[in-house]
Structure 1
Amino acid sequence: MTDFTSRAGLSRRAILKGGATLAVGLAAPAIVSRRALASSGELNILMWSDYLPETFVSAFETSTGIKINFTGIGSNEEIINKMKATKGRGFDIVSPTNNRSLQWQPLELLQPIDMTRVPLENVNPAMAKIGEVDWAFGEGVYWAPHIWGTEGIAWRTDLFTPKGVLPSYGDVWADENAGKTMGRGHSMMLGAGLYMETIGELAPGDVWKAYKTPEAMAEVWGKITDWCIAKKGNVKLLWNDADTQKNGLLNEGVIVGQTWDGPPLALKTAGEPVMYAAPLEGAMAWVDGIAIPTGAENIDAVYEFLKHAYMPELAGEAIDHHGYNSPVLGADKFAGAAYARNFADAYPGDALANLNPWPAEPQWYADARTEFVNRFTSA
């Protein structure tokens, strides 16, 4: 996976700002494309459940006359399984995460994107390069960046206080928080591994070594799984989507959990006593993208969507609602003060320089991890 962040001197401005200059025309209202009108007038999207706020959908539909049919998902496995089941048909856009390229390439369920129809000059060059490097499957590029974010620690400010400036992945497993924590199976186990490195239960670097070979994966994840099973009783809730995370913090008695950044920050913006921050061990960073299945029927509408997704004003308004971040240059200028405040709270000090870009996952790694996660969840 392309490392889209620098390990030094990183800031929100550095992440969202690149060398390209925004086209002046983007400040004007979008124009209905003749190509878009040549499609069925609909766009079928399979995307993460909280990525399309009504403000964006309304602006897109009003501008283009194209109706969005949205199906929300909560995991990369859902996207892959749906596309395998339908042989790439049924949707015009899917949204795989950047580190899943090695799993998608052999499936041959995506078609290359015509980059001459995509305003990539409006996108952070480092994030655009992820597609050019990791998703270049021989005949073109099969992925473009859409939204980026992190997975770290969220907590109820009225019920939990981190021991230091930043929380830790270990807080999810701590005895003092027993019965009041949550996480997602595979990623909370990875977070546990990073915490185990800090307390001597794993050697430094073991978690990343597990991506190298099946043998290293079996050794490292065997230890992680045994450790997590021993502490499973401390975990109250396993989440699988954004709504489950929000509900856990608001209604299920969860005081601290390992979550995506968007859901708790959306709650924080709404005035709930919720905070999110990168943990001591470093937040896990990812970029979710836009890809076109082989059976997509409304191709022209796809490029209208990409054009609108890369407009700073629309991208900025969207991040105000869903709480994640945009790769679009200048999007932050169109987000409100709450977004800027949330970003600063989530990544204090050198937290941005300490991000852990999620490594590319070979299929053998994903398969083995599923077995370990099943051992944990069924224990």
Structure 2
Amino acid sequence: MKKLIFTLLMVAFSSTALAGDLILYNWSEYMPREVLEQFTKETGIQVKEVTYDSNEAMYTKIKMVADHDYDIVVPSTDFVVRMSAEGLLLPLDKSKLPNFKNLDKRFVDQSFDKGNKYSVPYFWGSSGIAVNTQFVPLEKVKSIKDLLNPELKGRILLLNDLRGVFAIALKANGFSVNDQNPEHIQKAYEFLQKLLPSVKVFDSDSPKQAMLSNEAMVGQLWNGEAYVANQENPAIQYVYPTEGYSLWMDHLSIPRGANNVDEAYKFINFILRPDVAAKIAREMGYSSPNAEAVKLLPEETRNSMISYPSDDILARGEFEVGLGEATPIYEKYWLKLKTAD
């Protein structure tokens, strides 16, 4: 009996100790551990990070599990649109985010979330092609269609990301990455069917690892992953395809059902601090939307064509936005692609 009482007391104590802590539901390898520790040191708020490898996985958890307990999520632009429309994100009180002013005006008040009612830009970047020039000459992979070269069979990595993968197939066919025409989506799928025999692995947890281990010689990578891979192995070069490529932005949002909303605001405001945002950008390699943070970055990082491409390269890119009623069509073809024999 005494043991039972002791156990109940310990459970009660543990629950109390966790009150006011924060659960961050984030992409894998997307937040430096030292930043979370610094936040705890400054505020006393403990942060538990749980990770996912796709927007779809995060969306499903938030939508289907009412008592999910997550306090912050990191959706991409198209999922900000989708989740806010479905009431899955809480409207933001900007008075609790004084550091919001540090964000570059180019990345706020966009059409997908006017006034940033539901989202705070965290990172932006591109989805391009990484080439290990130790094995594949750079001049052989300039176009998306070059991925169909028989010499690359079984040597290619693709992201485990519906939007990223369909973006290259749509661009290869001359279409927008946000195309909603069913016939165009089908043509993109048919291109991916042709490419599938060349694909060694789909990975969004840490796709650079397949390149660094030489499991894949050519890979579709997010620019931050490519930046880190290039730092470890300069032979891994990043290519912006001639047909164009997708640009994306990820955001900090507070989901419906969050238990620690005040703590979430404190964390988001902390992340918007220039010194903190710069520390995150230096380690992660992705492009920061924080104008004041960019000023603090080393010149080498600011001048990196991987993280901060020139205006002419940016002009070839296209930001991913919502797919609207075409979403189920994409999901149908994605499932067919991933379950193909």
Which residue number corresponds to residue 361 of structure 1?
A: 323
Paired residue for 1:135, among 99, 103, 113? 113
* Shift in Å, 1:189: 3.2
Does the C-alpha gap of structure 1 residues 88 and 102 become closer, same or farther in structure 2, counting only changes over 3 Å?
farther
Which residue number corresponds to residue 61 of structure 1?
A: 40
Q: Which moved more, 1:111-120 or 1:221-230?
A: 221-230
Paired residue for 1:265, among 227, 243, 259? 227
Paired residue for 2:54, among 75, 91, 96? 75
Paired residue for 1:48, among 23, 27, 30? 27
Could you tell me the TM-score, scaled by structure 1's length?
Answer: 0.78
Which residue number corresponds to residue 4 of structure 2?
A: none
Mapped to 2, the partners of 1:288 and 1:83 lie a distance apart of 17
Deviations 1:322-353 (A, max 9, x none): 11011111212322344234336873572122
For the 8 Å contact 2:178–2:320, the answer to whether it is kept is: no
Which residue number corresponds to residue 29 of structure 1?
A: none
For the 8 Å contact 1:269–1:338, the answer to whether it is kept is: no
Which residue number corresponds to residue 96 of structure 1?
A: 75
Mapped to 2, the partners of 1:134 and 1:122 lie a distance apart of 20
* Shift in Å, 1:226: 2.1
* Shift in Å, 1:195: 1.7
Listed as ranges, the matches of 1:87-166 within 5 Å are 87=66, 89-118=68-97, 119-130=99-110, 133-135=111-113, 141-163=117-139
| Partner-residue secondary structure (3-state), 2:287 | coil
Mapped to 2, the partners of 1:307 and 1:208 lie a distance apart of 32
Mapped to 1, the partners of 2:75 and 2:306 lie a distance apart of 27
Structure 2 gaps, min length 5: 1-17
For the 8 Å contact 1:149–1:324, the answer to whether it is kept is: yes
Which residue number corresponds to residue 221 of structure 1?
A: 185
Does the C-alpha gap of structure 1 residues 273 and 88 become closer, same or farther in structure 2, counting only changes over 3 Å?
farther
Mapped to 2, the partners of 1:372 and 1:247 lie a distance apart of 27
Could you tell me the TM-score, scaled by structure 2's length?
Answer: 0.86
Mapped to 1, the partners of 2:32 and 2:307 lie a distance apart of 23
Which residue number corresponds to residue 152 of structure 2?
A: 177
Determine whether 1:321 maps to 2:283.
Answer: yes
Which residue number corresponds to residue 247 of structure 2?
A: 285
Partner amino acid, structure 2, of 1:143: S
Q: Alignment length, in residue pairs?
A: 321
Partner amino acid, structure 2, of 1:376: L
Mapped to 2, the partners of 1:195 and 1:162 lie a distance apart of 19
Deviations 1:127-147 (A, max 9, x none): 1213xx42359xx81111111
* Shift in Å, 1:234: 1.7
Partner amino acid, structure 1, of 2:112: D
For the 8 Å contact 1:94–1:292, the answer to whether it is kept is: yes
* Shift in Å, 1:375: 2.1
Does the C-alpha gap of structure 1 residues 189 and 99 become closer, same or farther in structure 2, counting only changes over 3 Å?
closer
Determine whether 1:372 maps to 2:341.
Answer: no
Partner amino acid, structure 2, of 1:120: F
Listed as ranges, the matches of 1:164-313 within 5 Å are 167-184=142-159, 186=162, 187-197=164-174, 206-207=175-176, 210-211=179-180, 216=181, 218-241=182-205, 243=206, 245-271=207-233, 273-313=235-275
Partner amino acid, structure 1, of 2:55: N
For the 8 Å contact 1:225–1:375, the answer to whether it is kept is: no
Deviations 1:179-238 (A, max 9, x none): 1111135322330221233xxxxxxxx345732xxxx2x211222222321332122211
Mapped to 2, the partners of 1:42 and 1:232 lie a distance apart of 44
For the 8 Å contact 1:44–1:90, the answer to whether it is kept is: yes
Does the C-alpha gap of structure 1 residues 341 and 224 become closer, same or farther in structure 2, counting only changes over 3 Å?
same
Does the C-alpha gap of structure 1 residues 350 and 88 become closer, same or farther in structure 2, counting only changes over 3 Å?
farther
Which residue number corresponds to residue 8 of structure 1?
A: none
Deviations 1:50-85 (A, max 9, x none): 221123222212111111100111111111111112
Structure 1 gaps, min length 5: 1-38, 198-205
Mapped to 2, the partners of 1:274 and 1:47 lie a distance apart of 26
Q: Which moved more, 1:342-351 or 1:89-98?
A: 342-351
